[in-house]
Amino acid sequence: MWLLLFLVFVLIWAGGTSWYLLRKPSPFTVESVRPAGPLELDQRKRDKVLKQGFTKEKIPKNLDAIVIGSGIGGMTAAATMAKAGKRVLVLEQHDVAGGCCHTFTEKGFEFDVGLHYFGQLHENGLLKVALDQITEGQLEFVELPQHFDSIVIDDSGKRRDYAVLSGKTEMEQNLKKHFPDDVKAVEEFFKIMKVTARKIHYLAILKLIPQWLALFLLKSGIADFCSSIFRLSGSNATEVNNRLTTNKDLHVIFSYFFYGVSPKDSSCMINALMLHHFKRGAYYPKGGASEIPFNITKVIQKHGGSVLVRAPVSRILVDKKGAAYGVTVKKGDEHVEICAPVIISNCGIFNTFQKLLPPEIQVKPEIQSRLDMMRPGKASFLVFSGFDATQEELDIVPTSIWLFKSNDMDAMMDEFFSMSKDEAPENIPMALITFPSAKDPTSQLRHPGKSCMTILTMVNYEWFEEWRDTRVRKRGEDYFHYKMRFASCLFDWACKHFPKLRDKLVFQEAATPLTNMHYLSCNRGAIYSADHNLERFYAEAMARNRCDTPVKNLYLSGQDIFSCGVAGALHGGLLCASSVLSYPVYIDLLLIKKKLKRKKAAEAEKLAKQKQQ
C-alpha cells in the first residue's frame, strides 16, 4: 500500500516539476556559443579583467546575488545565474581572480596554482558543453598526448614504470598489457568505472530533490533497488582493491590520484571516477589556466555583474530572523556593507560557518550538524621551478609523473602523516611532477625560451602551524629553511627523472599550507578543501551535504559540495546555481548536448551523401 501511495506521489511531483520547468527561461542556449577569438596577450588588458580592484563605486546596483570567492565553483555559479538574467557580484580577497585557476608570474615564468589538466572535454561531452556555456565558447583546450600520466613506483630501488593511456578501449587494454596476470581484476575495475560514470548523476539528484524525499528513497531501499551507485559510493577503496587482486602495484594504479586520504579511508567510487575522467582524453587550456577566469569574468560582466579583487569578506550579514542579506568587505579600516537577496559562499564550509557567520549563528545545532559531516582536508605543498631552457633542451614532457616510494599506499601514507615535524621533509613518499609549459603550445609564444615545473605533495598543516601568525614573505629564516628542506627533497627527486633540470634552474619558490591560506584562503592550507574521507561519500551524507544551508538565503558552492578538483568544483557551481534558481540547469545542458549530437550526425550524413554523388 505504501509503495502505491509513494508512486502516486511521485507522479504528482513529477507532473508539477515538469510544469514548473517548462515555465522557466533557460540560462543556456546553443546560440550563445560563438567561435573562439584570438588569445589576449596584452597583460594590461588581461589585468583590467582579472585584477579589477574593489571600490564602492564599482559595486553594481540592484544586485541579485553576491558570491564570496572567485574559484571555479563560484565563477560557474555566478556565470550561470548571469545567463539566467541575474546581476551577480563576485568578491575575491586575493589581487587576482580565479582561485586555484589563477596563475602568477615571477622572473618571467608563469605558474599554475592548482590546475594540472582536465578530462571529459571531448566533443559534445557534458563538461565541454558546460564550459562552452559559461565562457560562451571562448575557452579553447589542447588535447594532451594519449600517454597523459606515468606512474613510477620506486620500492627499495626496484623501479617500475606504468603508462596510463587515454582512449575508450586503449586505457583498459594498456593496463592489461602491464598486468597480464590480473586481466580479470582490470576488467572488474573498469566495470566499476563504467557504473560510476553512468550513474553518478543519481547522487547529484539527491542534492537537488527535497531532502526528505532523498532520505526516504535511501532509507526505504528504493534507491539501492534502482542502482548500485548508492552502495558503491560508500565502498572502501582498499577493500575493493583487495577483493579484485593481491597485486599491490595494480592497487596503486586504481588509487593513484592522491588527495590526502589513504585508500583505506577513501571511496572506491571517487577513485574510479577520477580515472574514468580521463578515459576520453586529457586536456589543458590554451593560453594557461588563467584563461578560465578571464573568459568567465567577461560573461558575468556582460550581464551587468562584476568580479572585484582585493575584496576580503569579513562577515556574512544575518538579520534577526536568521536570514542572510549581505556581506561586509574590509577596505582599509572601513567595513563596507553590500546587500543582496542571495549570498553564495565558495570559500569552503569551514571558512563559511566558522569564520564568516556571526558567533550566535555559528553555535546553532543545525550549523554544527553540517560541520560535523566534514573534517578538514590534508594540506598541500607545492614547488614552483623556472628554467632558462626550452622543452626540447630539458627533455621534459606534457605527461604528468606520479611518483611513489612504495606500492603499499595505506602504510606509506599512514607512516608519513604520523611523522614528527623534523622527520617529514626528507621522507616524502609521493609526489606529482607536471610541466605546464610543455602542455601549452602558446607557452613559448608568451614566454620564449623559458620552461616551468610544478611539484605537488600532501603534508600536515601542523608541521607549519608555529608560523601561522607571521606575515607572508616575512616568516623568518627558520620557516624558509624548513620549507626549503621539503622543496630540495622534491626537486632532487624530479632531477632523477629529468637530469637536465638542475643546470638550467634559475627560479624556485615553495608554497606551504600557510601560503595556500594567504593567497587562496584555503582552510588549513587544503587546496582540495574538506577531507574526501569515506564517510563523506555515504549516500545519506551526500544527500545531506547540499548547496542550501540552515541560514536562509545562504548557499555553498565549490569542492565541498560534490568532489575535489576543477571539474568537481565546477559541478558544485552548477548544483549551486540549480538550487538558487530552483531550476536544474543540467536539463538544459543535456538537451544542448543532444541537439549538438544530432547536428553533428546530420552534417556527417550530408557529407556522406555528397561523397556518393
Q: Give pLDDT tens digits for 198-254.
A: 999 999 999 999 999 999 999 999 999 989 999 999 999 999 999 999 999 999 999
Confidence of residue 415 (pLDDT cuts 50, 70, 90): very high
Other Cβ atoms within 10 Å of 9 Cβ, number: 12
Average pLDDT over residues 117-130: 93
Is the per-residue pLDDT at 4 higher than 50?
no
- Percent of the chain whose pLDDT exceeds 70: 96
603's grid cell = 552534417
The conformation of residue 354, written as its DSSP 8-state character, comes to I
From 3.50.50.60, 3.20.20.10, 3.30.505.10, 3.30.420.40, which CATH number describes the 52-140+286-374+528-599 domain? 3.50.50.60
Query: In whole angstroms, what is the distance from residue 98 CA to residue 6 CA?
Result: 45
235's grid cell = 565502498
| Residue pLDDT, tens place only, 384-400 | 999 999 999 999 999 99
| Residue pLDDT, tens place only, 280-325 | 999 999 999 999 999 999 999 999 999 999 999 999 999 999 999 9
Name residues whose C-beta falls within 8 Å of residue 451's C-beta, 6 or more positions apart in sequence.
386, 387, 389, 390, 391, 394, 396, 435, 437, 438, 443, 504
Confidence of residue 457 (pLDDT cuts 50, 70, 90): very high
CA distances from 506 to 387, 393, 455, 493, 515 (A): 6, 15, 16, 18, 21
| Residue pLDDT, tens place only, 347-386 | 999 999 999 999 999 999 999 999 999 999 999 999 999 9
Is the per-residue pLDDT at 140 higher than 60?
yes
Query: In whole angstroms, what is the distance from residue 581 CA to residue 576 CA?
Result: 9
Other Cβ atoms within 10 Å of 575 Cβ, number: 27
Query: In whole angstroms, what is the distance from residue 528 CA to residue 380 CA?
Result: 8
Contacts 24+ apart (CB under 8 A), 216-223: 218/539, 218/540, 218/543, 219/540, 222/6, 223/539
Is the per-residue pLDDT at 588 higher than 60?
yes
Q: What average pLDDT does the chain have?
A: 94
CA distances from 247 to 147, 182, 190, 254, 521 (A): 23, 8, 16, 11, 40
| Residue pLDDT, tens place only, 7-27 | 544 544 554 455 445 556 789
Weakest-pLDDT range from 32-41, 226-235, 535-544, 593-602: 593-602
* Model pLDDT, residue 157: 78
User: Which of 336, 325, 410 lies closest to 361, judged by CA?
Assistant: 325
Q: How far is CA 65 from the centre of its chain?
A: 22
169's grid cell = 578501449
Angle between helices 183-208 and 211-219 (to 10 degrees): 140
Contact 450, 387 (CB under 8 A): yes
| Residue pLDDT, tens place only, 429-456 | 999 999 999 999 999 999 999 999 999 9
Continuous segment of H or E residues that includes residue 74: helix 72-83
Confidence of residue 2 (pLDDT cuts 50, 70, 90): very low
